[in-house]
Amino acid sequence: MIKNKIVKNKNYMVGIDVDTTNNEVAVSDGYIYKGGEKHFIEGIYFNLDTDKQFEVVYDLYITINSNNDFIYELEKTYLDEGAMPCYTGDNKLFLTFVSVKLGIDGSFFEGHVTKIVDSEEMVENQEDKPETR
């Protein structure tokens, strides 16, 4: 089960939706407001492939590159002995946006999507609402 998490902050997202179906994650285009500026971020989709030996974690990060553009970066971690998922890229990390853990041969599917909303908005009953798969 994928849980939706809502975080209120002065830097926030608008129009970015996540859909998880048929072992695929699709993220729509949208905007990130940071420091009063509006930044476009292009959508992305990726497949969730299982492994026969190890659990797998997919982490989709939102990062800021040297041109001050927001981009998605996907990392896949095989949870063998001692492996721990973490961002290993060169850009500035903004948010661990989507994290999905798959069991061996897809035996379980769990994770979260963390959305940031305007700290001025009222958000009721949104935190930790499960998203169906």
- In a 10 Å sphere around its CB, with 0-12 CB exposed, 13-18 middle and 19+ buried, how is residue 68 labelled? exposed
Amino acid in position 107: S
Question: What pLDDT, on a 0 to 100 scale, did the predictor assign at position 121?
Answer: 64
What confidence tens digit (pLDDT) does each residue in 33-49 have?
998 899 999 999 999 99
| Residue 125 clears pLDDT 70, i.e. is over it | no
Q: Report DSSP state, residue 108.
A: -
Query: Both tokens of residue 105?
Result: 């041969």
Amino acid in position 47: N
Rounded-to-integer distance, Cα 53 and Cα 70, Å: 34
What confidence tens digit (pLDDT) does each residue in 55-109 have?
999 999 999 999 999 999 999 999 987 788 999 999 999 999 999 999 997 777 8
